[in-house]
């Protein structure tokens, strides 16, 4: 049962400021209609779930766009798909909540802001921390405001009164509470281990933020005393602390456990030969050098064998003093010079120039990742919690296996399950300023306060305080703050956005305190998570893990993943190719409805969307068709003037059709109409938006316009059939507008406003009409 807010102005067609309609414009002018309609919708309260107070809750939490720039066409895809879902649910009488938000997007935003600073001739490394944070915040909030206007322009019918930002204080508090809970549970821990380091951005990255690609480099066969080993990185030899062979390799049994003398470019040295199963006997000569500080596999070997760790490359990607005369050189230059020096000394046996191997790069800037040994905070994903007994990865995998969270596209369920089975602990520390700072303090002392982390002891006096002699973790700072120093790292942005579904609903400002239960109690778990398939691991998996951990329930029941947006030649859109489509530009040119329909048409879940200006222009023709056909019907029913658009005096007081006096054309359109209602309803229930949109397009253009409206012209001139024909026209047209509304909300509302002038029994707005049932 829909509830209509009292004392609301009726929407009018043509000039929307007029209280009484005099004529219907000959053409549909989206520029004159769309912005004004959206403002009226928003002011009316139609987008709030309270519009259907007795309806079944239906929730979508908007994937918060990064508040660091304008929306791109990929954002237009999620806006269109989610708005279709939420408008459909609202029309079904559900208490539909689409909660909007924006993401501070830590590393992403700082990268964008750094480019801005570079253009201004500045560097973030020369700006004090507090000032850099404030400048980034100002930049983000300005972009956030622009972005919100763009979401409105695309027709997003979300509840703006409930909007959240990932840096809102109440959101940050929830993020802190989750981290403290994980820490208490033994699942958040600090360790010194190899991390993926970007020398340009000066921060560590998670495994997911490293983009691997094949590269061809020289493979050097280096003489190490009596042995010869192969490496692509001769410059790291100054950090070698052992040579390793496979324990089953018969060629090297006599060397295992001994020390061999080797000649280097810095002189002679002795190095230990160890046996480890990590070594592949088929690689090179079956001998590898162990450089624990600059290779994660070597680090694990060093831990097993108690080897020394020597750092010979610093945080900026330059050689340290341990490299002797090569100190200060960048990695590639050092590699070249070290190889030349070794060749001069006869220490290189041979070089394979075209060795193909995989190289990790920063996904943002393309800089080759340099492994570094650093103290970082991690989330243990495969360990059982000390207190909760929960295992993040295992529980998230089980939830999908049991169908608690269902992927609309089965292939993504397989990918998810494979990844969750092979997931490793998650590095959540980022060495940047912009973000949510870790709620961790280290006691001030002469030694490095971060160098030693003991097993935490829970402080029984507070649920959210854990303290020992060296470290304090808590939602609030320690009372004797003068004795403590806060960690300068911030959380990986996916740690905070991974809590978005429950955090956004739990946050104080989103709660309707006059109602019980509150937002979280009523709207969680949410119904659908709709986002791009490319962040299934970055975001979707982490939301499931953290949602289950914190609430005991999956954060969403269904997962709809859309594909990338490509041009008409199926090429990925990029600025360098010059094929990028500005969604706001084409919305202004052709109408938001045309853009929305073009994005949905011909695109199924998980597949890439193909878009072009020609396709959008074609969908503008569909908007015009809806307007023109509706204009014809309204004028003919009221005995108006088709040339001037002047309506006649006739109104339809009821839509009760005389079933005994139906013509063959009437019966056919009613049959087709009944079938389209059933089919579109079934397809929308199954998330088949493209198929539903295509069927509606074909039905409206062909069955209704080309066939029935043409047949109705003669029937309207016949006194025996005209009254029934009018009712059939209005019923079929009005219900078609409701069916089309989730896809093309603006033109359907514009027509609906005109239609209400001749049929007052229609609901005040198509936004809150009742979905047709048969």
- pLDDT, tens digit (0-9, with 9 covering 90-100), for 230-263: 999 999 999 999 999 999 999 999 999 999 999 9
The pTM of this model reads 0.86
Reply yes or no on whether the pLDDT at 646 is more than 90: no
Query: Each residue of 316-333: pLDDT tens digit?
Result: 999 999 999 999 999 999
Q: What is the 3-state secondary structure (H, E, C) of 182-193?
A: HHHCCCEEEEEE
- DSSP lists the bridge partners of residue 559 as 407, 529
Range with the lowest mean pLDDT among 115-124, 504-513, 673-682, 695-704? 504-513
Spatial CB neighbours of 162, under 8 Å, sequence gap ≥ 6: 97, 99, 100, 510, 519
Q: Helix and strand tally (H, E) in the chain?
A: 21, 26
Cα separation, 423 vs 403, in Å, equals 20
Of the candidates 241, 368, 365, the residue with the CA atom closest to the CA atom of residue 298: 241
| Residue 716, both tokens | 């309207």
Torsion of Cα atoms, 689 then 695 then 697 then 702, to 10°: 180
What is the β-pairing status of strands 556-562 and 526-532?
Answer: parallel
Q: What is the pLDDT of residue 518?
A: 79
- DSSP lists the bridge partners of residue 97 as 59
Of the candidates 117, 333, 291, the residue with the CA atom closest to the CA atom of residue 194: 291
Cα separation, 99 vs 90, in Å, equals 14
SS3 at position 311: coil
pLDDT grade for 454, boundaries at 50, 70 and 90: very low
- DSSP lists the bridge partners of residue 373 as 194
Average of per-residue pLDDT across 620-634 = 95
What is the β-pairing status of strands 370-379 and 426-427?
Answer: antiparallel
| Residue 639, both tokens | 């005995």
Range with the lowest mean pLDDT among 56-65, 482-491, 650-659? 650-659
Q: Is 32 exposed, middle or buried (0-12, 13-18, 19+ CB in 10 A)?
A: middle
Query: Each residue of 663-695: pLDDT tens digit?
Result: 999 999 999 999 999 999 999 999 999 999 999
User: Cα(first)–Cα(last) distance of the chain, in Å?
Assistant: 17
The b/e string for 346-364 (b: 16+ C-beta within 10 A; e otherwise) is ebbeeeeeeeeeeebbbbb
- DSSP lists the bridge partners of residue 274 as 244
Q: What is the pLDDT of residue 649?
A: 75
pLDDT grade for 66, boundaries at 50, 70 and 90: confident
**CA distances in angstroms from 316 to 127, 312, 324, 389, listed in the order given:** 18, 12, 17, 41
**CA distances in angstroms from 194 to 295, 302, 634, listed in the order given:** 8, 12, 71
- DSSP lists the bridge partners of residue 490 as 430, 437
Q: What is the pLDDT of residue 434?
A: 92
Q: Is the dihedral of CA 643, 648, 654, 658 positive or negative?
A: negative
Q: Of all helices (H) and strands (E), which one includes residue 498?
A: none
Cα separation, 580 vs 613, in Å, equals 10
pLDDT grade for 514, boundaries at 50, 70 and 90: low
Q: What is the pLDDT of residue 46?
A: 97
pLDDT grade for 9, boundaries at 50, 70 and 90: very low
Average of per-residue pLDDT across 404-433 = 92
Q: What is the pLDDT of residue 11?
A: 34
Cα separation, 582 vs 463, in Å, equals 49
- DSSP lists the bridge partners of residue 156 as none
Using an 8 Å Cβ cutoff, are 599 and 744 in contact? no
Cα separation, 365 vs 359, in Å, equals 14
What is the β-pairing status of strands 164-165 and 188-198?
Answer: unpaired
Using an 8 Å Cβ cutoff, are 740 and 696 in contact? yes
- DSSP lists the bridge partners of residue 229 as 222
The b/e string for 203-241 (b: 16+ C-beta within 10 A; e otherwise) is bbbbebbeeeeeeeebbbbbbbbebbbbbbbbbbbbbbb
Q: What is the pLDDT of residue 328?
A: 96
- Indicate the average pLDDT of the chain: 88
Query: Each residue of 560-606: pLDDT tens digit?
Result: 998 777 766 666 655 455 666 788 888 999 999 999 999 998 777 76
- DSSP lists the bridge partners of residue 473 as 440, 466
């Amino acid at each position: 049962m829909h509830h209509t807010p009292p004392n609301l102005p009726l929407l009018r067609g043509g000039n929307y400021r007029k209280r009484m309609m005099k004529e219907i414009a000959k053409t549909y002018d989206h520029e004159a209609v769309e912005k004004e309609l959206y403002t009226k919708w928003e002011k009316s309260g139609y987008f709030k779930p309270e519009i259907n107070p007795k309806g079944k809750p239906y929730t979508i939490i908007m994937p918060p766009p990064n508040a660091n720039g304008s929306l791109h066409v990929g954002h237009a895809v999620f806006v269109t798909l989610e708005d279709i879902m939420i408008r459909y649910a609202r029309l079904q009488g559900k208490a539909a909540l689409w909660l909007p938000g924006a993401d501070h997007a830590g590393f992403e935003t700082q990268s964008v802001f750094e480019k801005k600073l570079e253009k201004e001739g500045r560097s973030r490394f020369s700006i004090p921390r507090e000032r850099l944070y404030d400048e980034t915040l100002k930049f983000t909030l300005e972009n956030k405001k622009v972005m919100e206007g763009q979401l409105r322009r695309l027709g997003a019918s979300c509840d703006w009164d409930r909007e959240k930002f990932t840096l809102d204080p109440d959101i940050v508090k929830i993020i802190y509470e989750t981290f403290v809970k994980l820490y208490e549970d033994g699942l958040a821990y600090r360790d010194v281990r190899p991390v993926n380091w970007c020398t340009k951005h000066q921060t560590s990255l998670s495994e997911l933020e490293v983009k691997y690609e094949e590269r061809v480099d020289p493979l050097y066969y280096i003489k190490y005393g009596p042995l010869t080993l192969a490496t692509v990185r001769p410059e790291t030899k100054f950090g070698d602390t052992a040579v390793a062979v496979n324990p089953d390799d018969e060629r090297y049994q006599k060397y295992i456990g001994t020390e061999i003398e080797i000649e280097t470019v810095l002189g002679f040295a002795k190095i230990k030969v160890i046996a480890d199963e990590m070594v592949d006997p088929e690689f090179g000569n079956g001998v590898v050098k162990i450089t624990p500080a600059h290779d994660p596999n070597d680090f694990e070997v060093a831990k097993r064998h108690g080897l020394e760790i020597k750092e010979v490359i610093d945080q900026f990607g330059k050689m340290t003093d341990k490299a002797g005369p090569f100190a200060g050189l960048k990695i590639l230059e050092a590699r070249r010079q070290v190889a030349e020096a070794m060749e001069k000394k006869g220490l290189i046996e041979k070089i394979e120039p075209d060795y193909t191997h995989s190289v990790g790069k920063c996904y943002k800037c393309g800089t080759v990742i340099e492994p570094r040994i650093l103290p970082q905070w991690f989330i243990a994903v495969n360990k059982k919690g000390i207190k909760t007994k929960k295992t993040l990865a295992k529980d998230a995998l089980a939830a999908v296996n049991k169908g608690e969270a269902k992927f609309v596209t089965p292939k993504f369920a397989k990918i998810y399950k494979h990844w969750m089975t092979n997931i490793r602990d998650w590095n959540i520390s980022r060495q940047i300023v912009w973000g949510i700072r870790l709620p961790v303090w280290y006691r001030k002392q002469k030694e490095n306060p971060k160098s030693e982390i003991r097993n935490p002891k829970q402080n029984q006096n507070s649920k959210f305080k854990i303290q020992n002699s060296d470290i304090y973790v808590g939602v609030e700072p320690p009372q004797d703050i003068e004795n403590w120093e806060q960690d300068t790292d911030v959380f990986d942005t996916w740690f905070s956005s991974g809590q978005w579904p429950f955090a956004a609903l739990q946050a104080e400002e989103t709660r309707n305190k006059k109602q019980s239960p509150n937002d979280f109690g009523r709207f969680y778990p949410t119904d659908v998570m709709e986002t791009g398939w490319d962040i299934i691991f970055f975001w979707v998996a982490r939301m499931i893990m953290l949602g289950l951990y914190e609430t005991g329930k999956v954060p969403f029941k269904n997962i709809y993943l859309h594909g990338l947006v490509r041009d008409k030649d199926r090429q990925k859109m990029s600025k360098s190719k010059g094929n990028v489509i500005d969604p706001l530009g084409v919305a202004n040119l052709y109408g938001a409805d045309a853009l929305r329909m073009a994005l949905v048409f011909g695109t199924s879940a998980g597949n890439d969307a193909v878009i072009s200006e020609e396709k959008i222009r074609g969908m503008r023709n569909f908007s015009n068709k809806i307007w023109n056909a509706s204009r014809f019907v309204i004028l003919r029913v009221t005995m108006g003037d088709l040339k001037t658009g002047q309506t006649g005096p006739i109104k339809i007081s009821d839509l009760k059709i005389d079933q005994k006096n139906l013509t063959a054309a009437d019966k056919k359109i009613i049959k087709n109409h009944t079938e389209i209602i059933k089919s579109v309803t079934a397809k929308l229930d199954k998330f088949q938006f493209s198929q539903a949109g295509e069927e509606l397009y074909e039905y409206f253009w062909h069955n209704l316009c080309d066939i029935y409206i043409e047949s109705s012209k003669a029937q309207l001139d016949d006194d025996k059939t005209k009254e029934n024909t009018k009712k059939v026209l209005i019923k079929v047209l009005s219900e078609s507008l409701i069916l089309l509304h989730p896809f093309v909300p603006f033109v359907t509302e514009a027509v609906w406003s005109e239609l209400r002038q001749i049929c007052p029994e229609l609901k005040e707005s198509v936004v809150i009409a009742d979905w047709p049932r048969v």
